[in-house]
């Protein structure tokens, strides 16, 4: 049965955030809110967590997982980008964007696209997510909480608790969050390619 954490959306309780972070470090898979919609998240090296996310979402090996980072300093440890790409990403973050970039050796192989050796990264604009990332001191390995055969991600914490009670370890609920997945921009070829139009405006990349 999943633990349920009711977190204040503007002033997240430190005790709760610490509790959630401790659980993630101990191997928990959590459902948590972001500025686009809910996501599933676990620690970077959590093989069981990765396997469970694949199972819940019915994902194949070509799926791009996302490393949700607190800031650019953290993001720069896990992906390569030149100055032009840096400026383009900087102008759009924090925000509802996922960027696909070549992965550094810090990224576990099972998280990379098997042929392209790329990974998704993003810096969210959400108070609770940022508080959790700051407490963790490392990225969250994440994937949008979009269930198989459903067109829209789950957006209500109580519903996630009801439906995923026995497949996740914790649900972090801070009220309403975004209802649309991130806009995905692929920079792995050097130029911006819009892979998915979502919550983030695409005008900066067209």
Per-residue pLDDT 10s for the chain (206 aa) are 999 999 999 999 999 999 999 999 999 999 999 998 899 999 998 999 999 999 999 998 778 789 999 999 999 999 999 999 999 999 999 999 999 999 999 998 888 888 889 999 999 999 999 999 999 999 999 999 989 988 888 888 999 999 999 999 999 999 888 788 899 999 998 899 999 999 999 998 98
Superfamily of domain 3-205, CATH level 4: DHBP synthase (3.90.870.10)
Q: How far apart are CA 27 and CA 43, in angstroms?
A: 7
| Burial track 169-195 (b if 16+ CB lie within 10 A, e otherwise) | bbbbbbeebbebbbbbbbbbeeebeee
For position 22, what pLDDT does the model report?
A: 98
For position 206, what pLDDT does the model report?
A: 85
Q: How far is CA 154 from the centre of its chain?
A: 14
Residues whose CB falls within 8 Å of the CB of residue 164, separated by 6 or more in sequence, listed in order: 2, 31, 56, 171
């Amino acid at each position: 049965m999943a633990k349920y954490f009711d977190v204040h959306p503007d002033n997240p309780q430190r005790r709760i955030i610490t509790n959630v972070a401790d659980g993630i470090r101990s191997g928990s898979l959590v459902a948590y809110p972001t500025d686009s919609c809910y996501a599933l998240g676990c620690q970077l090296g959590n093989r069981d967590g990765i396997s469970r996310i694949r199972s819940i979402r019915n994902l194949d090996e070509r799926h791009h997982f996302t490393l949700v980072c607190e800031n650019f300093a953290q993001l720069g440890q896990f992906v390569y980008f030149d100055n032009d790409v840096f400026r383009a990403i900087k102008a759009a973050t924090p925000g509802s964007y996922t960027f696909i970039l070549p992965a550094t050796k810090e990224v576990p192989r099972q998280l990379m696209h098997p042929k392209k050796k790329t990974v998704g990264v993003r810096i969210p604009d959400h108070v609770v997510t940022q508080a959790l990332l700051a407490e963790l001191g490392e990225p969250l390995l994440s994937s949008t909480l979009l269930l198989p055969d459903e067109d829209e991600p789950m957006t209500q914490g109580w519903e996630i608790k009801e439906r995923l009670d026995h497949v996740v370890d914790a649900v972090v609920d801070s009220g309403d969050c975004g209802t649309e997945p991130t806009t995905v921009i692929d920079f792995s070829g050097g130029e911006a390619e819009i892979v998915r139009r979502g919550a983030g405006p695409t005008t900066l990349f067209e």
